[in-house]
Amino acid sequence: MSDAVALTKSLLRFDTINPPGRERDCARFAGAMLQEWGFDVQYFEYSEERTSVVARLGGSERKSPLCLTGHLDVVALGSRKWSKDPFAGETAGDKLYGRGVSDMKSGVAAMLLAARSFSKSLSNTPGIVLVLTAAEEGGCIGSQHLAQTQLLGRAGAMVVGEPTGNLPFVGHKGSIKFYARFKGKSAHGSMPELGDNAVYKAARAVAKLEAFSFKAKKHPVMGAPTLNVGTFQGGAGINLVPDSAVVGVDIRTVPGMDHRKLLSRMKSAVGKGVEIEMQSDLDPVWTDPKNEWAQRVAEICMDVTGKTPKTRAATYMTDAANLHKAYGRVPTVVLGPGEPGQAHQTDEYASMERIRESVAIYENLIKDWCS
Ligand SMILES: [Zn+2]
């Protein structure tokens, strides 16, 4: 398996669609290769078949290793029909097709091959740690559980191989997702005065949420925080006073915002006595573009791709939100060969040239970190 495109095809063949996930076979496949190359490999399952891999090579007292991370799960195929087989690794021109090829099995393949290039030369160097996670899609659950284990060890900087078209992104927004549950009292629809309408309460809260002001400064790269009410459910029949209603809220935050304070403001906005059921609470990730290592990453990308990167941040969430906390907020870049616009699309594809290019980028990052 000497070529990153061939290895990406092998990873595509594992059906890791989440839900249900079932990353185990794919994780064991990657782990077995790493073991063969001399890595110290550990597996972690937060539930049946939801397997993450942590693999380490090298290591020294004076400097922590470089962490390379990616997720093994992919999203569902969607309701539109694919014109290509999502698991077979079909190609056309420079495009390689498949579910998860951009998001982000090509990134994982390139990281694996870059790691293999150094399998004989990392002793007595800071070394590297590969973290391949389960269940990133829909809440970064795998990395959240992994961060609670002792398996992650140390890292001095982190590369997240999510799709960026080989351009380094210096962070992404944070996210808070919750359901607000409103209670009322049921009554016959012809006698609403005998009931307590939960939908009215929810509707008043939604109007307040729409007008909510974050009072946060715009971030120079990520812009302003946002809020979206994504779901609204309530009532059991047209002739009943609804006794319950549920509203789903998705907030995207920028660096510098205090999630705890924001949540308590949210609670007063939706009203007293409303039950809040948290879905996820993930911090933003941000590395100052002037950070020495972030600049080295930008130079290395420029050397390989010939493109001058400008300062960018990703719009999507990554496992970095959890891993970053476990590693003590080390400098982090999101950088991978996939096409950002192809993530979660029907007929998802990635450029084979970029996949091969990214192996060189990751190799140079490892060389730079370990020499
Ligand atoms: Zn992803």
Q: How far is the CA of 18 from the centre of ligand 1 (A)?
A: 12
With contact defined as beta carbons under 8 Å apart, do 147 and 201 qualify? no
Torsions phi, psi of 118, nearest 5? -105, 15
| 264 pLDDT above the threshold of 80 | yes
Q: How far is the CA of 125 from the centre of ligand 1 (A)?
A: 30
Q: How far is the CA of 103 from the centre of ligand 1 (A)?
A: 4
In the three-class reduction of DSSP (H, G, I as helix; E, B as strand; rest coil), residue 217 is classed as coil
In the three-class reduction of DSSP (H, G, I as helix; E, B as strand; rest coil), residue 324 is classed as helix
CA distance 49 to 301: 36
Q: How far is the CA of 340 from the centre of ligand 1 (A)?
A: 9
CA distance 93 to 102: 16
Q: How far is the CA of 104 from the centre of ligand 1 (A)?
A: 5
pLDDT attached to residue 242: 98
Share of the chain above pLDDT 70, in %: 100
Q: How far is the CA of 137 from the centre of ligand 1 (A)?
A: 7
Averaged pLDDT score across all residues of the chain? 96
CA distance 96 to 227: 35
| Angle formed at CA 196 by CA 190 and CA 197, multiple of 5 degrees | 80
Q: How far is the CA of 72 from the centre of ligand 1 (A)?
A: 9
Tens of pLDDT along 208-247?
999 999 998 899 999 999 999 999 999 999 999 999 999 9
CA distance 182 to 199: 8
Tens of pLDDT along 337-353?
999 999 999 999 999 99
With contact defined as beta carbons under 8 Å apart, do 285 and 172 qualify? yes
Tens of pLDDT along 143-175?
999 999 989 999 999 999 999 999 999 999 999
| Token pair listed for 228 | 């979206």
**Type and span of the H or E element at 323:** helix 320-326
What is the separation of C-alpha 192 from the centre of its chain, rounded to a whole number of angstroms? Answer: 46
CA distance 315 to 86: 25
| Angle formed at CA 134 by CA 29 and CA 253, multiple of 5 degrees | 145
Q: How far is the CA of 147 from the centre of ligand 1 (A)?
A: 18
Q: How far is the CA of 100 from the centre of ligand 1 (A)?
A: 8
Q: How far is the CA of 166 from the centre of ligand 1 (A)?
A: 14
List the one residue out of 334, 297, 293, 348 whose CA is nearest residue 136: 334
CA distance 297 to 305: 12
Q: Is the pTM of this model over 0.75?
A: yes
Tens of pLDDT along 122-141?
999 999 999 999 999 988 99
| 2 pLDDT above the threshold of 80 | no
Q: How far is the CA of 16 from the centre of ligand 1 (A)?
A: 13
| 1 pLDDT above the threshold of 70 | no
CA distance 309 to 170: 11
CA distance 121 to 117: 9
Tens of pLDDT along 9-57?
999 999 999 999 999 999 999 999 999 999 999 999 999 999 999 999 9
Q: How far is the CA of 60 from the centre of ligand 1 (A)?
A: 31
Torsions phi, psi of 240, nearest 5? -125, 150
| 302 pLDDT above the threshold of 90 | yes
For residue 57, the number of C-alpha atoms closer than 13 Å in the C-beta half-sphere is 22
Tens of pLDDT along 324-340?
999 999 999 999 999 99
List the one residue out of 235, 246, 232, 236 whose CA is nearest residue 182: 246
Q: How far is the CA of 160 from the centre of ligand 1 (A)?
A: 9
